Amino acid sequence: MPSPDLVRAYDLIPTCSSRHVFHHRLASAISAVTSVPLPYSRPTSHEFRILNSEVSKAHPSKLEARSPKPEAAIEQPVPSVPMSSRTLLVCGGSGFLGSRICKIASSRNWAVTSLSRSGEPNWAAEGSRPEWASKINWKKGDVMNPETYKDSLEGVDAVVHSMGILLEADYKGVLTGKEPVVAGLKKAFDSTRATGENTVRQGHAQMTYETMNRDTAVTLAEEAASQRAKSFLYVSAIDSFFTLPRRYITTKREAESIIAGIGEKNNMRTIFIRPSFLYDASRGFTMPLAGVLGCVSAVNGLFGRKIPLLGAAGYKPLAVEDVAGAAVKALEDENVKGVVDVDGISNLATRVWREGML
């Protein structure tokens, strides 16, 4: 049978308008009975609601004059969701990889502007305009002509160059039958066509590796640095395929070297992501190729990636969404700088995935 003192302690419940007073008195009463001091701790808001509910049922008249303030009156105001604080310009933002960089960046609180010749992509293949597209500022511009995009660089925090060509016009002409095979291949693989001049600055821009893979990126980096952009990300490549002219990869490496110098001189962080073959279900032909290359890269991995002549085929293919996520994460993490290879891309993409799961 409970002690009279303990019974009196419980009798105090209906008359306590304050949970603080109730717990203090109850602890004192139990200590008096057991001679053991009990620590006092403030109850949680959940315990407070349960207590008031039980008390109001048992003695509504006693609680009426001493009911606590409504919950809404004592809660701290919920801070508003912050507006986008980071700005990003994606050159090539309507392309295969660039559009996904825009999509992921906009979902991670970036204010995104896409620059391309077409402006906003044609969403016919998607069936309808995706919801995220309304968050992007789609602008028309030509990377071969800096005057068309200089205003878009004003006040941006980060810039991405996500464009280039895999095949030059001569090589495409051979593949489509518009160019004689021998003459076309001779032009495509002619290393003497390489030029050290900036074809964009000199007004000689063409659809060549030098212009598209190197000079447009270098010129964009120069313009970004002049506007005090904090970060510049260049989408490069892990290697070339043996079927492509060597100039495809040498122009990308030249771009990396020149842009790194621009960044160092202007205190602009430079990042060079080097993906392998990109695949996505939206481009059906990439899926079986990715399967084949996945097998080849697995075998190459067993030999320490030292099988000769494989080039980019010796690396595991990457989902385009993963590369886009890795690019955005690289811009967000100020510790990331310089070259980010296939393994680095995979690690960054995994971090983005984990954050999405939280």
> What does the pLDDT look like over 112-148, one tens digit per residue?
999 999 999 888 877 889 999 999 999 999 999 999 9
Average pLDDT over residues 210-220: 96
Range picked from 2-6, 122-126, 201-205, 228-232 for highest mean pLDDT: 228-232
Question: What tens digit of pLDDT does each residue of 152-168 get?
Answer: 999 999 999 999 998 87
Report the pLDDT value the prediction gives residue 104, as an integer from 0 to 100.
97
Q: Tell me if 115 sits within 8 A of 91, measured CB to CB.
A: yes
Separation of alpha carbons 105 and 113, rounded Å: 10
Residue 68 predicted with pLDDT over 80? no
Please compute the mean of the pLDDT values over residues 30-56 and round it to a whole number: 47
Q: What is the pLDDT of residue 193?
A: 63
Distance, CA of 219 to CA of 228 (rounded, Å): 14
Percent of the chain scored above 90 by pLDDT? 59
pLDDT in tens, 329-345: 999 999 999 999 999 99
* Amino acid 58: pLDDT: 52
